[in-house]
Amino acid sequence: MTTANTELYPEAQLVTDLREWMPHQRWFAAKGQTLTGVRVLLRDPLVEEPGFGADHLLVKVSFESAADQIYQVPLGYRPHLPDDLQQWTVAGPDESRGRSVYVYDGLRDQEILDRYSRNLASGTTSGPVELHNVPGSVIEPGLRGRALSAEQSNSSVVLGEKLLLKMFRRLTLGINPDVELPLALGEVGCRSISPIRAWIEAEVEDVRTTLAMVQDFAANSADGWSMALGSVRDLLIEGDLRADEVGTDFAGESQRIGAAVADVHAHLVAALGTGERTAAELSEGMIGRLEGAAAEVAELSELAPAIRARFEEFAGLGRVPVHRIHGDLHLGQVLRTPERWLLIDFEGEPVKSLEERRKPDHPFRDVAGILRSFDYAAHHSVRESQQGAAVASQREFRAREWAERNCAAFCEGYAAASGTDPRDSGVLLRAYELDKAVYEVVYEARHRPSWLHLPLEAIRRLTAM
Ligand SMILES: Nc1ncnc2c1ncn2[C@@H]1O[C@H](COP(=O)(O)OP(=O)(O)O)[C@@H](O)[C@H]1O
Ligand SMILES: [Mg+2]
């Protein structure tokens, strides 16, 4: 199909440019893989005006030794690029290649964001794209868009400081749990999440697939990770004070985070029910991941038998209750609003298949995610500083103390709200903590070898308990 945009920017050149540009983007998940092909699955014109164009694109990327991936890529086209858009350039004009315009990341252009905002408010979609409003929710017209600067694995746009449009960058065919779970939670009245107002989906390769969602924007909020880091920083500055004596003690917040996680768990049960799985089956998965990790990371091999023994101990627990969980919980996935803590980002672990992510699991996977995150937060600033051995060991001791204090407070909050203290089920909790630490070992070995000792140290501690 030819449109004004395809004349402006022929598809063959688009594909060549994307192939060059995409691997360098923050959201590109296949870093280091050799690309073998790029194919445009959908090219939906959003703007076609003299001197200004924009397309909404779905792009499939193939690799030499990895499964295909599909990405969502909004692009803008302009003959002249304002200064603030320069850094988002995909390619500049080059008549010899049939490209007469600048091509750039469309989500950085105010006018394009406003166009998305207008379409959401009016319900305008084109091609195979469908907009669903949650009953009772209206998206008011005229909300100005602004790209959220904290660029994560997806791209979020704040609309009028009221709503957040989250566009999934890497698409997983099917309904994204980041829409499914908050929608179900909203229906049963859960207040520890940001309510969903609308979502966008399309048939992609014959599968109904979530492209984006709109939820309430929590203005004046801070994420748990930054708050925790601030608390640790203050603690380490105060030479001799303990975690409970400094101004920014985090334990009260940790307790409230525990209560919020328990609240979400209870509502997930109310909305989507419970089931049972055998601990043997769950432990088998953990052992499989351990074997894979030990084969990859030499430092893990000496600890592997002790970890395995913990997983086998867990396998002996018989049947355990399971339900849908968050699945990728850490301190960066909780937001402190002026009123309460919210859990966000219910996508689950992006490396897992959708089927795996949707499988009910024991809620302690989420609990373990937060506990491990406290360990990371505690050691973050210790790691980053260059100091002598004596000071380092003193800081290390106090960081450990901070982590223990906040883990305990979190468990107390979880226990008070749910009636179940995770610490009373040590075998179960340790298995999930170890499973997470094994995952971290692989991650650090691949991306940040100087951090490898952190999960290894946690494994030593957990297996010695
Ligand atoms: N409802 C919201 N209100 C305010 N800020 C939010 C909201 N949802 C997400 N954010 C901000 O955006 C960041 C990334 O959101 P998240 O859903 O975790 O995206 P990703 O999938 O890219 O990790 C969060 O750390 C938070 O700072
Ligand atoms: Mg996130």
Contact 17, 103 (CB under 8 A): yes
Structural domain boundaries, residue 172 = 111-216
For residues 95 and 177, state if they share a domain: no
**Confidence band, pLDDT 50/70/90 cuts, at residue 350:** confident
End residue of a domain, out of 83, 105, 127: 105
Return the CATH number at 299. Answer: 3.90.1200.10
Ligand of minimum distance to the alpha carbon of 165 = 1
Q: Are residues 146 and 192 in the same domain?
A: yes
Boundary-marking domain end, from 105, 127, 159:
105
Residues 66 and 82 reside in one and the same domain: yes
Neighbours of 380 (CB within 10 A): 17
Amino acid at 403: A
> What helix, strand, coil percent values describe the chain, rounded to 5?
50, 25, 30
Quote the pLDDT of residue 253: 98
Task: Check whether residue 233 and residue 167 sit in a common domain.
Answer: no
- Measure the CA–CA gap between 369 and 140, rounded to whole angstroms: 37
Q: Determine the 3-state secondary structure of 353 from DSSP.
A: coil
Task: Please name the residue whose Cα sits nearest to atom 4 of ligand 1.
Answer: 218
Both 123 and 99 in one domain: the answer is no
Q: Is 78 helix (H, G, I), strand (E, B) or coil?
A: strand
Atom 26 in ligand 1: residue holding the nearest Cα: 223
| CA atoms of 457 and 433, how far apart (whole Å) | 13
- For the chain, give the percent of residues with pLDDT over 70: 96
Report the atom number in ligand 1 closest to the C-alpha of 152.
22
Instruction: Determine the distance separating the centroid of ligand 1 and the alpha carbon of 296, expressed in angstroms.
Output: 32
The answer to whether the CB of 81 falls within 8 A of the CB of 90 is no
Ligand 1 atom closest to Cα of 215?
1
- Helix, strand, or coil here: 320? strand
Give the residue-averaged pLDDT of 122-132. 82
- Dist CA 281 CA 60 (whole Å): 34
Q: How many CA atoms lie within 13 A of 144 on its CB side?
A: 3
Q: Which atom of ligand 1 is found nearest the CA of 342? A: 1
| Protein residue whose Cα sits closest to atom 17 of ligand 1 | 345
Task: For the chain, give the percent of residues with pLDDT over 90.
Answer: 78
Number of domains in the chain: 3
Q: What pLDDT does residue 96 have?
A: 87
User: Is 73's pLDDT higher than 90?
Assistant: yes
Indicate if 81 and 117 belong to the same structural domain. no
36 and 142 share one domain: no
Cβ-based burial of 2 (10 A; exposed 0-12, middle 13-18, buried ≥19): exposed
Structure tokens at 51: 């001197």
Q: pLDDT-derived band of residue 99, with 50, 70 and 90 as boundaries?
A: confident
Q: What are phi and psi of 33, to 5 degrees?
A: -80, 150
Domain boundary among 184, 216, 248: 216
Region 193-219: what's the mean pLDDT? 95
CA of 190 from ligand 1 middle (Å) equals 18
The DSSP letter of residue 143 is: P
pLDDT digits (tens, 9 = 90+) for 430-444: 999 999 999 999 999
Which residues contact ligand 1 via a Cβ below 6 A? 148, 150, 152-154, 156, 164, 166, 194, 215-218, 221, 223, 332-333, 335, 344-345, 347
Gap between the Cα atoms of 19 and 60, Å rounded: 10
Nearby residues of 306 by Cβ (< 8 Å), 6 or more positions away? 459, 463
Of 184 and 241, the one with more pLDDT: 184
387 has pLDDT over 70: no
Cα of 223 to ligand 1 centre, how many Å?
A: 8
Q: Is residue 237 located within the same domain as residue 324? A: yes
The structure's pTM equals 0.93
Average pLDDT of the chain is: 93
> Do 373 and 424 share a structural domain?
yes
**Residue of minimum CA distance from atom 14 in ligand 1:** 152
Spacing, Cα 414 to ligand 2 middle (Å): 22
How many angstroms is it from 399 CA to the middle of ligand 1?
27
93 and 190 assigned to the same domain: no
Closest-CA residue, ligand 1 atom 9, reads 344
**Tokens at residue 243, please?**
């975690």
- The answer to whether residues 85 and 139 belong to one domain is no
Residues 116 and 101 in one domain: no
Tell me which of 312 and 234 has the higher pLDDT: 312
Which ligand places an atom closest to the C-alpha of 197?
1
Q: Classify 194 as helix, strand or coil.
A: coil
